Amino acid sequence: MSHHLKFFIDGAWVDPVTPNILDVIDPATEEAFTQISIGSAADVDRAIAAARAAFGAFSTTSRDERLALLRRILALYNERYEDIARAVSREMGAPITFARRAQAAAGQAHLEATIAALETFAFEEQRGTTRIFREPIGVCALITPWNWPLNQIVCKVAPAIAAGCTVVLKPSEIAPVSGIVFAEIMEAAGTPKGVFNLVNGTGPDVGQVMAGHPEVDMVSFTGSTRAGIIVARTAAETVKRVAQELGGKSANIILPDADFERAVTKGVRGCFGNSGQSCDAPTRMLVPVDRHEEALRIAGAVAAAVKVGDPREEETTHGPVVSATQFEKIQRLIETGIREGATLVVGGPGRPEGLERGYYVRPTVFGHVANGMTIAREEIFGPVLSILSYEDEEDAIRIANDTVYGLAAYVQSRDIGHARQVAARMRAGSVYLNYPEWDTTAPFGGYKQSGNGREYADWGIHDFLEIKGVVGWGEA
């Protein structure tokens, strides 16, 4: 039976208090493929009450009990792996091969990393005669985005459960089906009633209500910086903890000694991955001024070879962007780049040739981008790369850090010692040297307007804990 029109509250699938239906659009066809119910404050109240009622018992469960639950969730996740991949592909347009290899795999990897972290996590320590306890913070409101749905759901739900918290999840209403599949997994795993709850809805009608609710102890939010500011202001009224992973405009510094062909090629592919819809994508490529034309030649060839098409076809590498709103925003910014004088190397406004329907964007590379141009400052969130020149290393570092964001940075050099020195000067939460493999134990989060708090493995568990010091405890 489909649960698309229901919410998961207090261990059961329930109807919304007030019926309100929203179409879910397939971005490849621009047509609705299912409907979900949209929640209200009354649904939020019901879910938070269930989470509050469950917290007392769940917060006192043992490490072994929570590990057993997480292992059951992982086993069932693996059983539903193909369902998850197909849901993500349909709701956000990810090519099915990418949905399997990256989108569904991300949730799996984070479950594994959280389980490994929980096995040895130190919930207590002794400092002199003081005993330090790390205790679950309480009821947590989790608000997740559409661009990496399972990555962000698992990055929040798994560490919250590992910490002993109870949660209410609001997935993005744009890409909600994978979240419903995840809720079915949580139910099948025997998650105690009220520990995990799901309410679908919009930001204003559900997300903000959760953020401001007096019975919520913490909000963990991933999304745009604009929405994050609203969440933080709303949460401030009740002085609750807010962890945020927000926007980015990440610089990719290609140093003069780098393998230039490889560095530019992988930089373009990194920018365009997930149809450019990743907050940590390397969207600003910084190259030596005397090699700018070489970079444009390489980048243009890589972008021109990208196959954009139907996400259901196995050979498709890039699908549509998620919605009409995103498509129109990207088109405006591409047109702004042209109007402000950047060199359009490849791509541009409109859909790729042969694709008359669907939110498909032409993979676009701009060269000779000045640091003050709009496309160098604003997060585009589409397959659009800006290539900027730098005079010397100091200039490159200055340009890289000259942004309100600080989620990620990238450095390419044949000399790893040199790359490390540049990384030390990056004002970003993550710095990637020479395109390394993804590491689920590395902390993930941002400086400046890219947010606060950290996710992944033990870093995520820490965010869901309060610290208590018992002074005068005595010797251990």
Asked, for residue 230, whether it belongs to a domain, the answer is yes
**Is residue 318 located within the same domain as residue 240?**
no
- Reference 143, options 173, 177, 118, 102; nearest CA is 173
**Is residue 64 located within the same domain as residue 79?**
yes
In the residue annotation, 245 being an active-site residue is answered as yes
Q: State the maximum Cα–Cα separation within the chain, in Å, rounded to a whole number.
A: 74
Distance CA 3, CA 231 (A): 28
pTM score, whole prediction: 0.97
Q: How far is CA 173 from CA 71, 276, 319, 414, in A?
A: 28, 20, 20, 44
Asked, for residue 235, whether it belongs to a domain, the answer is yes
**Is residue 326 located within the same domain as residue 184?**
no
**Is residue 231 located within the same domain as residue 324?**
no
What are the E-state strand segments in 275-374? 284-288, 343-346, 364-367
What is the CATH number for 99?
Answer: 3.40.605.10
Domain span holding position 259:
251-440
DSSP of 3-60:
-TT-EEETTEEE--SS--EEEEEETTTTEEEEEEE---HHHHHHHHHHHHHHHHHHTT
**Residue whose structure tokens are 């007096």:** 214
Amino acid occupying residue 217: D
Asked, for residue 375, whether it belongs to a domain, the answer is yes
DSSP class of 456: S
User: Looking at 91, 173, 279, 455, which residue is catalytic?
Assistant: 279
**Is residue 176 located within the same domain as residue 270?**
no
User: Looking at 245, 271, 379, 455, which residue is catalytic?
Assistant: 245
Distance CA 449, CA 425 (A): 18
**Is residue 237 located within the same domain as residue 287?**
no
Q: Which residues of 148-177 are buried (b: 16+ CB within 10 A; e: fewer)?
A: bbbbbbbbbbbbbbbbbbbbbbbbbbbbbb
Cβ atoms of 299 and 268 closer than 8 Å: yes
**Is residue 20 located within the same domain as residue 164?**
yes
Q: 264 by DSSP, 3-state: which?
A: helix
- Reference 430, options 412, 454, 458, 413; nearest CA is 454
Amino acid occupying residue 411: V
- pLDDT at position 1: 62
Residue 119 CA to its chain's centroid (Å) = 25
**Is residue 39 located within the same domain as residue 186?**
yes
**Is residue 103 located within the same domain as residue 236?**
yes
**Is residue 370 located within the same domain as residue 454?**
no
Distance CA 73, CA 293 (A): 51
In the residue annotation, 279 being an active-site residue is answered as yes
Distance CA 345, CA 324 (A): 25
Asked, for residue 475, whether it belongs to a domain, the answer is no
Q: Classify strands 251-254 and 241-245 as parallel, antiparallel or unpaired.
A: unpaired
Asked, for residue 204, whether it belongs to a domain, the answer is yes
Task: Spell out, as residue ranges, where the chain has pLDDT lower than 70.
Answer: 1
Domains: count for the chain? 2
**Residue whose structure tokens are 């996400």:** 311
**Is residue 233 located within the same domain as residue 255?**
no
In this structure, the number of other CB atoms found within 10 A of the CB of residue 181 comes to 20
- pLDDT at position 54: 98
DSSP class of 205: I
Asked, for residue 2, whether it belongs to a domain, the answer is no
CA angle 82, 174, 455 (to 5 degrees): 70
